[in-house]
């Protein structure tokens, strides 16, 4: 057995308040000309990521896969798919990231595998082989229908008939993504062995895909109907998808998951400075689940939910989400984000016109950087990229293809990065990319923004530098300040230092009176132009104000 590789960090809590940059490798940089991004491309573009001032990158899956779900259907957890390169390419990327002071978090997709994984091939061969119980198998009802009413997020029933075993197997996503049976301790051991493989290789942490999907109800009880909750801030699926019509009491978020997460954390604690961030999709119960998964210091380090990944960019919504988290999660930690590879880009969600996009992009990252918690950025948002409008024939996402045109899927946020405005395919690739490069993205290319002091890219750099230099923004306390207008105002405080933030997320001018807040100095923030006069702050639409308090 090899000795664990030590992380280069000197602070084991580096993840607390960290800025994480998500890389979707197949759309980041292609170095082979096949139109697909690869690990060498990630290495090539690491200086760009480092220039932003982030603490870590999160790499979406690059493991061996048939790519039915763009790598979220893994057939070998311990190798690199040839389209992305090989293990030597990964090691080179990891070493270069560490040299630049960037941690590397990889996407661990362990709730399910590909149906091409050797584990499943053996499991489906018979009912009595060594891995027969490694997946969720169940007999049909007497009339031949599925064991219960569980649904797949990607459409249709959550069960698929297998003629060899004459049983159904469970799949929360595609038919080709069978769910592992975590009630079997051998499955847990095998999964943790793959985690250890990457820990020994030197990775700094894991983003755990669908972390509350690991266990299912042993009794296979039917899910009841969903009861609409007007106060809910979490969604399970778009309203075009019947998955959201169920209250998912039994197909996920089972109590047994707590003990497995303790096993996962115990493994990580054998290594220095490693971390975990879990993806929790649990509808209105999401914050309760985050509290259970991150509390106590013996499970996950942090989680994120879908609360800020919707269309609502208002003071009341943000305050509601943050307050709900603070009330529910007393000793855990959250990772906030406005965009990722599964949702429409937030510039398109929040801005109503093309003219608003740059200002909204700047305001959004400033707000995100001021919140208490860690934050995650998604590649391209530092350029202010909007959602791409794609034709149906260009789609590659099975989710979008299944629900088109009511739901257009996730390809619109997965188009290639635009590096050079005038280059072929915006310098993403020398060959035709797997998804089109949108014409409207070209003027926003990195080289077009590099030397423009007013660009979204430069604003990201300045904002993240400010966050990095202010210890109070890493892990200081946060309390909201009431306003007589639709403004988001709060104070961040640590060790006697207090910073006041006021955000106008509306399209109207607004005024804010600090009341008993005594302003010691106003902090100038390029890109915003509030006026502080006569003991009142005047904010333009999509404006913000920051000051240090006495």
**Catalytic center residues:** 209, 279
Question: Which tokens sit at 516?
Answer: 């008993």
C-alpha triplet 406, 411, 415: angle, nearest 5°:
145
295/299 Cα distance (integer angstroms): 7
Query: Is the distance from CB of 113 to CB of 120 less than 8 angstroms?
Result: yes
- Residue by residue, DSSP assigns 398-461 as HHHHHHTTTS--SGGG-SPP---TTSGGGGS-SS--SS---GGGGGG-HHHHTT-TTSHHHHHH
Q: Name residue 502's beta-bridge partners.
A: 489, 545
Q: Which element (helix H / strand E) includes 335?
A: strand 335-336
* 334, HSE (Cβ side, Cα atoms, 13 Å): 26
Q: Which element (helix H / strand E) includes 360?
A: helix 357-370
Question: Which tokens sit at 192?
Answer: 């943790």
Residue 295: exposure state from Cβ atoms within 10 A (0-12, 13-18, ≥19): middle
- Residue by residue, DSSP assigns 496-547 as TEEEEEEEE-SSS-EEE--TT--EEEE---TT---EEETTEEEE-TTEEEEE
Other beta carbons within 10 Å of 176: 18
Cα distances (Å, whole numbers) of residue 331 to 207, 294, 296, 297, 476 = 20, 8, 7, 8, 14
């Amino acid at each position: 057995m090899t000795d664990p590789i030590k992380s280069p960090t000197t602070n084991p809590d580096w993840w607390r308040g960290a800025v994480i940059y998500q890389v979707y490798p197949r759309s980041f940089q292609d170095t082979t000309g096949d139109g697909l991004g690869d690990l060498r491309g990630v290495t090539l573009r690491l200086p760009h990521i480092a220039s932003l001032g982030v603490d870590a990158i999160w790499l979406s899956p690059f493991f061996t896969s048939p790519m039915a779900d763009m790598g979220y259907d893994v057939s070998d957890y311990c190798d690199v798919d040839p389209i992305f390169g090989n293990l030597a390419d990964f090691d080179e990327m990891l070493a270069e990231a560490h040299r630049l002071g960037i941690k590397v978090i990889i996407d661990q997709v362990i709730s399910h595998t590909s149906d091409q994984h050797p584990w499943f091939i053996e499991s489906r061969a018979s009912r009595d082989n060594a891995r027969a119980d490694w997946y969720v198998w169940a007999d049909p009802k007497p009339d031949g229908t599925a064991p219960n009413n569980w649904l797949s997020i990607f459409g249709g029933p959550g069960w698929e008939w297998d003629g060899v075993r004459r049983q159904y197997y469970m799949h929360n996503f595609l038919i080709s993504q069978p769910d592992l049976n975590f009630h079997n301790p051998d499955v847990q051991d095998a999964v943790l062995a793959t985690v250890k493989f990457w820990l020994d290789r030197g990775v700094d942490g894991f983003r755990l895909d669908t972390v509350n999907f690991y266990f299912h109800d042993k009794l296979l009880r039917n899910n009841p109907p969903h009861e609409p909750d007007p106060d809910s801030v979490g969604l399970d699926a778009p309203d075009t998808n019947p998955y959201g019509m169920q209250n998912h009491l039994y197909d996920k978020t089972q109590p047994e998951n707590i003990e497995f997460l303790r096993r996962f954390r115990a493994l990580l604690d054998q290594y220095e400075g490693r971390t975990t961030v879990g993806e929790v999709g649990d509808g209105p119960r999401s914050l309760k689940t985050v509290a259970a998964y991150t509390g106590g210091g013996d499970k996950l380090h942090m989680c994120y939910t879908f609360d800020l990944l919707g269309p609502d960019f208002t003071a009341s919504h943000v305050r509601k989400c943050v307050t709900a988290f603070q009330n529910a999660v007393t000793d855990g930690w959250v990772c906030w984000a406005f965009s990722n590879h599964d949702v429409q880009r937030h510039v398109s969600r929040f801005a109503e016109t093309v003219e608003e996009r740059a200002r909204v992009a700047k305001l959004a990252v400033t707000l995100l950087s001021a919140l208490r918690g860690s934050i995650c950025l998604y590649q391209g948002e530092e350029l202010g990229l909007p959602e791409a409008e794609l034709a149906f024939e260009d789609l590659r996402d099975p989710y979008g293809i299944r629900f088109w045109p009511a739901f257009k899927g996730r390809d619109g946020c997965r188009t290639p990065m635009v590096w050079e405005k005038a280059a072929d395919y915006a310098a993403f690739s020398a060959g035709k990319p797997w998804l089109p490069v949108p014409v409207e993205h070209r003027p926003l290319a990195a080289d077009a923004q590099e030397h423009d002091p007013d660009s979204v890219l430069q604003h990201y750099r300045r904002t993240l530098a400010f966050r990095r230099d202010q210890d109070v923004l890493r892990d200081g306390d946060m309390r909201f300040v009431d306003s007589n207008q639709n403004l988001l105002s709060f104070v961040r405080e640590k060790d006697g230092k207090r910073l006041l933030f006021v955000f106008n997320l509306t399209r109207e001018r607004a005024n804010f009176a600090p009341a008993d807040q005594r302003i010691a100095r106003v902090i100038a923030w390029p890109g915003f132009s509030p006026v502080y006069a006569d003991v009142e702050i005047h904010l333009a639409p999509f404006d913000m104000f920051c000051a240090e308090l006495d």
